Amino acid sequence: MAVVGLKYFAAARLATEVDGSMPTYSAGAKIGHLMKADISWSTGDVGLYGDNVEVEHDNTKSYGTLTMGTTYLSIDGRKMLLGEEEFGTPGTGDPQVYATSDTPAPYVGVGYVTHDSADGGDPVYIAWWVFKVQFSMDESHETRQENTAYQTPELTGRVMGVRPDESLKNRFRIYAEFEDEADAIDWVKAKAGISA
């Protein structure tokens, strides 16, 4: 399949994580307009050799790196994904101030929808849900010049495994295929706890 589209960046705070049960989430929300979602995996790379040849190889996933690009990251989005906090006393006539601190960013679940062409058949929509991510974000700002150069937020997250069923295997994400885009988005909303 070839991916021909990407949309609907949703996230929610990880509320509970218990071995053998699906994680639960709170405060789900849509985050900006999604531009990209790249995931790379760190895998074992260990071979077992016998009689001068490799007879087995371990390429087990240990963690992932998820890079999300969005057109805009609101204050609420920064609070949810990066753990930024209100600072000072609101309602005093001064603008509300927000602080970046040395507190670790919260764990969140992340979802999105890709649009795939199905080898000449009907296109499918794939809804993805990544169970546990901890994001960070570098920032760069520059002045406007002769031509507009858009500067957009890019989040980088560590993808960690959870054990959501009785097998107690580490699972990093789940996904489902849909014929209709709206159904795929509704699936992501349900995972994030976003009401219709």
Contact 157, 136 (CB under 8 A): yes
CB 97 within 8 A of CB 141: no
* Pair 100, 158: CB distance under 8 Å: no
Q: What is the pLDDT of residues 62-81, one digit of tens each?
A: 899 999 999 999 989 999 99
- Nearest residue to 98 via CA among 108, 113, 115, 83: 83
Residue 83, CA distances (Å) to 13, 17, 131, 143 in order: 10, 19, 18, 27
- N-term to C-term CA, the chain: 29
Distance CA 107, CA 133 (A): 5
**Token pair belonging to 142:** 């520059």
**Number of domains composing the chain:** 1
Taking 70 as the pLDDT cut, the residues of the chain under it are: 1-3, 90-93, 95, 118-121, 148-149, 196
Would you say residue 50 lies in a domain?
no
Domain that holds residue 125: 2-45+55-141+151-192
pLDDT tens for 151-177 read 788 999 999 999 999 999 999 999 999
The answer to whether residue 146 is domain-embedded is no
**69 found inside a domain:** yes
Amino acid sitting at position 108: V
Q: Are the C-beta atoms of 162 and 131 separated by less than 8 Å?
A: yes
Q: What whole-number distance in Å separates Cα of residue 43 and Cα of residue 99?
A: 36
Question: What pTM value is reported for the model?
Answer: 0.86
